[in-house]
């Protein structure tokens, strides 16, 4: 064992021990959700395994892993659903596991998702612990696990993988590890289009760091760095390299799609248009909500949507007032903007918001301020409700 391994191993063990309550709590919540899904599915004579691995987007990912890109479905209305809309990192990992283990592509996707969800929980804890302390870190992980659409974290989808990469990239930024932040940002950009949010966070942090060094942002603190400061020259070089690496994943895949389809550098937008996905500043979503108020029963759903959007915006305002570090504010803001302002399937918006964990930190801080017995009671009650909702949802309309 080298000297470096001798130093690193105890630090990793200590970090895992510190995060253990959060990870155990997360595993318990997700296990409850999977148990509820299994029982509900059995009662409906459905397969919980199929719902987790071979429905909706999970099926598209396994097709990419098995057949590669080029598969498409032409709908009667003329729309073209191409698998080029799906970013490649999850299918690559599914293919790798399938090639090196007895796992099927579907099993590999589920395995990646389950492991990535634990890595995401640890990353969320690391970020919240670094900024607010251990108790808040544990509560942040629990709040993320308790989300009504939290069952998606256990599906063969890319949300868990993306959240893990995003969380650890943000943690690397907060602790001054620029190259690691850039590499993880690039990988997140190979996972989902919202990888742009991670790139924006890394670049914003890098620009702020550069300006602070020159006194332009004196007194403005956007990181709480507990590690020893590197030499100025090494720091600047690492920061520049991290900023260069960050956008390579998103840019590389988008440019490849344009080249592959012969439609130019922005050909990926044409692929998304075939799915009726795009960015219109929220116009289509606003019309969707407004149409709900044309009749009384649907008006209640419209009111719920308005309240939900208002609460999300309110949460972001609280994040700003609580002076979250700049990378978290940028990341959370871009995730929120992309989810609300995209003209995609409106039922998928809660799932698209799942990676926006910094938006949950005000709720985590509120939970952390309660006595342990009361916070456990609140978390337990919400866990049951979330598990039941997730089971009902996947056996019904499910995540589009």
> Mean pLDDT throughout 157-186?
97
> Mean pLDDT throughout 368-389?
95
What mean pLDDT is reported for the chain? 90
Whether residue 13 has pLDDT greater than 90: no
In a domain, 3, yes or no: no
In a domain, 221, yes or no: yes
> Mean pLDDT throughout 232-258?
91
Report pLDDT for 228: 39
In a domain, 4, yes or no: no
pLDDT in tens, 29-52: 999 999 999 999 999 999 999 999
Whether residue 365 has pLDDT greater than 80: yes
CA distance 109 to 52: 10
Whether residue 319 has pLDDT greater than 70: yes
In a domain, 280, yes or no: yes
CA distance 177 to 322: 24
In total, the chain counts a number of residues equal to 400
| 181 vs 294, residue with greater confidence | 181
pLDDT in tens, 143-162: 999 999 999 999 999 999 99
| 295 vs 25, residue with greater confidence | 25
Where does the pLDDT of residue 222 fall: very low under 50, low under 70, confident under 90, or very high at 90 and above? very low
* 32 in Cβ contact with 384 (< 8 Å): yes
Report pLDDT for 15: 87
Rounded alpha-carbon distances, angstroms, from residue 344 to 72, 134, 292, 299? 18, 37, 17, 21
In a domain, 7, yes or no: no
Three-state SS at 324:
coil
Three-state SS at 399:
coil
> Mean pLDDT throughout 369-381?
94
CA distance 246 to 250: 9
* 83 in Cβ contact with 273 (< 8 Å): no
> Mean pLDDT throughout 247-262?
94
pLDDT in tens, 132-143: 999 999 999 999
Helices (H) and strands (E) in the chain, counts: 18, 2
CA distance 263 to 258: 5
Tokens of 12: 């990793």
For residue 190, the enclosing domain spans 13-394
Phi, psi of 175 (to 5 degrees): -105, 15
Report pLDDT for 213: 80
Report pLDDT for 230: 47
Whether residue 338 has pLDDT greater than 80: yes
Q: By mean pLDDT, which of 54-68, 238-252, 280-294 is the weakest? A: 280-294
CA distance 54 to 148: 21
| 212 vs 381, residue with greater confidence | 381
Residue 358 is given by DSSP the state: G
Report pLDDT for 214: 77
Tokens of 342: 């995209």
Report pLDDT for 78: 80
* 365 in Cβ contact with 115 (< 8 Å): no
**Residues of the chain with pLDDT > 70: what percent?**
92
Within 10 A of 272 (CB to CB), how many other CB atoms are there?
Answer: 20
Report pLDDT for 97: 97
Phi, psi of 25 (to 5 degrees): -65, -40
Q: How many domains does the chain have?
A: 1
> Mean pLDDT throughout 51-67?
94
Handedness of CA 103, 105, 107, 109 (dihedral sign): positive
| 72 vs 326, residue with greater confidence | 326
In a domain, 400, yes or no: no
Whether residue 226 has pLDDT greater than 70: no
Report pLDDT for 123: 98
In a domain, 5, yes or no: no
In a domain, 1, yes or no: no
CA angle 151, 155, 158 (to 5 degrees): 110
> Mean pLDDT throughout 296-308?
82
């Amino acid at each position: 064992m080298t000297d470096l391994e001798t130093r690193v191993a105890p630090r990793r063990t200590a970090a895992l021990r510190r995060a253990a309550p959060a990870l155990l709590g997360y595993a318990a919540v997700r296990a409850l959700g999977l148990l509820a899904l299994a029982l509900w599915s059995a009662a409906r004579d459905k397969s919980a395994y199929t719902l987790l691995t071979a429905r909706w987007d999970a099926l598209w990912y396994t097709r990419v892993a098995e057949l590669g890109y080029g598969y498409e479905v032409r709908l009667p209305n003329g729309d073209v659903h191409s698998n080029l809309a799906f970013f490649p990192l999850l299918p690559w990992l599914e293919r790798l596991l399938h090639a090196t283990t007895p796992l099927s592509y579907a099993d590999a996707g589920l395995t990646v998702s389950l492991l990535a969800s634990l890595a995401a929980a640890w990353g969320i804890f690391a970020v919240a612990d670094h900024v607010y302390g251990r108790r808040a870190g544990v509560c942040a992980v629990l709040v993320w696990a308790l989300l009504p659409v939290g069952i998606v974290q256990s599906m063969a989808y890319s949300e868990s993988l993306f959240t893990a990469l995003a969380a650890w990239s943000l943690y690397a930024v907060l602790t001054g590890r620029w190259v690691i932040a850039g590499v993880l940002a690039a990988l997140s950009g190979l996972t989902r289009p919202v990888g742009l949010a991670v790139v924006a966070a890394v670049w914003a942090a890098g620009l702020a760091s550069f300006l602070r060094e020159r006194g332009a942002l004196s007194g403005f603190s956007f990181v709480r760095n507990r590690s020893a400061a590197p030499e100025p020259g090494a720091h600047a070089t690492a920061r520049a390299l991290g900023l260069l690496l960050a956008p390579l994943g998103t840019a590389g895949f988008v440019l490849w799609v344009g080249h592959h389809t012969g439609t130019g550098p922005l050909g990926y937008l044409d692929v998304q248009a075939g799915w009726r996905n795009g960015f219109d500043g929220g116009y289509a979503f606003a019309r969707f909500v407004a149409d709900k108020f044309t009749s009384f029963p649907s008006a209640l759903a419209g009111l719920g949507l308005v309240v939900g959007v208002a609460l999300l915006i309110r949460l972001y305002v609280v994040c700003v007032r609580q002076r979250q570090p700049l990378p978290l504010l940028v990341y959370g803001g871009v995730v929120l903007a992309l989810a609300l302002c995209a003209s995609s399937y409106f039922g998928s918006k809660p799932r698209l918001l799942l990676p926006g964990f910094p938006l949950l930190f005000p709720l985590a801080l509120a939970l952390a301020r309660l006595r342990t017995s009361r916070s456990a009671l609140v978390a337990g009650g919400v866990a049951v409700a979330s598990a039941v909702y997730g089971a009902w949802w996947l056996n019904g309309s499910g995540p589009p």
